Amino acid sequence: MVILARVFSAPLLEAAGRALIEDDGPRKVDAILVLGGDLYGDRTLKGAELGKAGYAPIVLVSGPPRLMGYQSTDEIQFAEKYGYPASLFRELPLPSPDAESTATEAGFLGKYLAAQGIKSILLVTSNYHTRRAAKLWRKENPKLTIAVVPSIDPEHFFTAETWWKTRAGQKMFFLEWTKTISVILGF
C-alpha cells in the first residue's frame, strides 16, 4: 500500500496543482491587462511580450498605491529596462490598497474597461492565480470577453509539476486553494 501511495502521489499532487491553472492561449484582443501584485516582474514582462507580438495595441498595468507612488509605475519602468517602449503601456492605478483583492480589482477595472469601449482582453497573471482570477473577472464582467494567459515567475515559485517540493510552492498552493474554495463557496 505504501508503494502504491508513493507511485500515485506525484500524479495526484500535479493534478491538484494543474487545477489552479487556466491557459486559454494568446489571441487578438482590444487590450492586454496585467493584474497588480507582480512582485518579480514576470506578469509585466509576459504582458509586454504579448503586446510586442501584436496581440493588442496596449498593455494595461494595474497596481495599488505604494509608499512612493503606484506599483504599476514601477512595473512599467521595469519593462522599459528590458527594452519595451513606454508607449506600449498604460497605467491603471487602483484607488486604494483595499482594491488589492482580485474581486475588488475586477469590479473597479471592469468599469474602466467598459467605459473605454474595451470588449476583449488577455488577462495576464501568475500561473497559480489564473483559474480564480478568471472566475472572478468573468463573474464581475459578463460582457467582457476574457482569455487568460499565465506568467511563470523566474524563480519558479509554483509549477504544477513540482510545487510540493519547495516551501514556497507549498505555501502558494495552500494559499491559492484556500482562496479558490472561498470563491467557490461565495465568500
Number of other residues whose CB lies within 10 A of the CB of residue 59 = 26
Confidence of residue 8 (pLDDT cuts 50, 70, 90): low
More confident residue, 64 or 107: 107
CATH topology of domain 20-156: Rossmann fold (3.40.50)
Grid coordinates belonging to 73:
509605475
pLDDT tens figures, 124-183: 999 999 999 999 999 999 999 999 999 986 666 788 889 999 998 999 899 999 999 998
pLDDT of residue 35: 92
**Contact at 8 Å (CB) between 171 and 62?**
no
| Count of CA atoms in the C-beta half-sphere (13 A) of 4 | 1
Nearest to 58 by CA among 86, 83, 78, 95: 86
pLDDT over 90 (residue 73): no
Confidence of residue 38 (pLDDT cuts 50, 70, 90): confident
pLDDT over 50 (residue 1): no
pTM: 0.89
Nearest to 118 by CA among 98, 136, 137, 132: 137
- In terms of DSSP bridges, do strands 89-93 and 69-70 run parallel, antiparallel, or are they unpaired? unpaired
- Looking at every residue in the chain, the average pLDDT score rounds to 89
